[in-house]
Amino acid sequence: MHLTQDGNTVSNPPLLRVQQLSIHDETGHCLVDDLSFDVYPAQTVAIVGESGSGKSISTLALLGLLPENLTVQGNVRFANQSLLSLTQTQLQQIRGKRIAIIFQEPMTALNPLHHVEKMMAESLILQGVCKADIRQQTLSLLQDVGIDDAVQILKCYPHELSGGQRQRVMLAMALALEPEILIADEPTTALDVVLQAQILTLLKKLQAQRNMAMILISHDLNIVKQYADQVLVLNQGRVEEQGCTTEIFTHPQTAYTRNLLNHDFGQALSIAQTECLLELKNVTVKYPIKRGLLNQIKAYKIAAKSINFNLFKGEALGIVGESGSGKSSLALAIARLISSEGEICFQSQNLNQLNQKQLRPLRRDFQIVFQDPLSSLNPRMSVEQIIAEGLHLQNISKQQSNVQIEAVLAKVELSLEDRSKYPHQLSGGQRQRVALARALVLKPKLMILDEPTSALDRSTQMAMIQLLRRLQQQEQISYVFISHDLQVIKALCQNVMVMHQAEVLEYQATELLFTQPQTEYTRQLISASEY
């Protein structure tokens, strides 16, 4: 017997039963304490909480995917088996085939040496699909998850895809095995709001067709509210409260849950336009398409076409649009990490006319925070070493460097204990804050932020926005802020640029964009972002 989203009772046995699950590290510190919940066929159970609250490690423990230095206790029953008692060989028969998982960071989960068709084929072969049917089923699965140019995507490697495309490929691979339970760890983090709705509507449809259950880990409470039947709220590894979705959202019982549900980020600052810091004139970004035995350039894919805008000192420009619209390519071009045509004038200097040696002294003044922190942070360096690297290049002394590192860790709400940790030891949200700290420590005049809050829970997003606003006000830092979350854009940016298929659809003041959108596409984005 279980409750649906609206509190109605349905009678059938649970597919998965988790009882008194506890996880401790090698020092005996409790990471997850006494977690219990049931998952029924076709049901969606959402696990929410702040970054580092134990959401991801709880689900990894179910499939025996935790590192050996962590101790797991409790009882996890699936298909009349105790999962915690199974050997790795026995678990291999369940992982992927019966319980599949979509990881939070697709760039690290996908094989960088294989193109999409080969990775998809591996999943379908495990399902017993004959080779003659693999290509057609691969195309069908990619189209199901919203990839229109599926034929072209087949021969792409993970690094050639946008963040949203990588997320959709990983989702297609998981669905190919037709699992009974799908564990989705932040499945829509890299997706725009319109595509989020499409993907989750697809998942709900597949759940009904296949009787598939889903454990949804998400910091996006809009998604949880619309798609989950049951909600578990975790706080520092403990269940703060749990119940049907409607009850949790309408009558939260604890201050912690009420704080999570608070999604009013406030309004962007009013900034007087004085000095122009960054100006783009007819900037175009294109990627060569190479084919044939000699790998010759046959054509070009336009990622961003004839982009123009001005960014003033202390101002924030938000760039929004669907996955693959060219937002991240434009960000890389502004940072001179990829080549582009046109003029990128930073402090009156055209960056496109400078070589790498000439750029080096300017780079501390413009910093970029990438969308996927795990792939942008050196896995062999500690947090302290990652943040200190830029300071060492600026010939700052060890003593002064330590002072600045401590100050920036406090700014992004990381503890001093975190400075000795490595990226894999941190949660997704903590890694994003390390990436932000690495940029902030150099005290730049311009920060290019590519989905900097996408991996963060709502309360941490609030703290991050307040931090960015404070820096904007006190130090007059300018931002180019790329996000699919229009509520975050509204709270931070003075102007917004809407991109669609590599072109600018709209470019106007934030308040005007939200009250008087000029295109149907923009109206769709705004409508999908509200709850």
Q: What is the largest CA-CA distance in the chain?
A: 69
Assign 395 a pLDDT band (cuts: 50, 70, 90): confident
Which single residue is written with the structure tokens 């119940």?
243
The pLDDT of residue 5 is 52
Residue type, 49: G
Higher pLDDT, 153 or 164: 153
Q: Which domains does the chain possess?
A: 313-339+353-529 (3.40.50.300)
**Number of Cβ within a 10 Å radius of residue 402:** 14
Mean pLDDT of 30-55: 92
Residue 281 has pLDDT above 90, yes or no: yes
- The whole-chain average pLDDT of the chain stands at 87
The pLDDT of residue 484 is 81
Distances (CA, A) of 109 to 150, 166, 169, 396: 20, 10, 11, 37
d(CA 277, CA 23): 50
- State what percent of residues in the chain have pLDDT above 70: 96
- State what percent of residues in the chain have pLDDT above 90: 44
Tell me phi and psi for residue 311, to 5 degrees.
-125, 120
d(CA 223, CA 246): 13
HEC string for 34-71: EEEEEECCCCEEEEEECCCCCHHHHHHHHCCCCCCCCE
Q: Residue 420 carries which DSSP code?
A: G
* Across 38-47, 159-168, 475-484, 513-522, least confident range: 159-168
Assign 11 a pLDDT band (cuts: 50, 70, 90): low
Model confidence pLDDT, tens digit, residues 320-358: 988 778 998 999 999 999 999 999 999 999 999 999 889
Residue 473 has pLDDT above 70, yes or no: yes
Higher pLDDT, 203 or 54: 54
Tell me the pTM.
0.75
Q: Considering only CA atoms, which of 471, 479, 472, 477 is closest in space to residue 452? A: 479
Residue 17 has pLDDT above 90, yes or no: yes
Residue type, 111: N
Model confidence pLDDT, tens digit, residues 217-275: 987 787 898 889 999 999 999 999 999 999 999 999 998 888 888 767 777 877 777 88
Per mean pLDDT, which of 1-5, 278-282, 372-376 is the most reliable?
278-282
Q: Where are the alpha helices (DSSP H) in 283-382?
A: 327-334, 356-359, 373-376
Higher pLDDT, 294 or 27: 27
The pLDDT of residue 36 is 95
Higher pLDDT, 105 or 42: 42
| Element housing 297 (H / E) | strand 296-312
The pLDDT of residue 7 is 54
d(CA 370, CA 77): 39
Neighbouring residues of 491: CB distance < 8 A, sequence distance ≥ 6 = 265, 266, 267, 268, 465, 469
The pLDDT of residue 498 is 94
Mean pLDDT of 293-309: 84
Residue 426 has pLDDT above 90, yes or no: no
Which single residue is written with the structure tokens 């072209």?
152
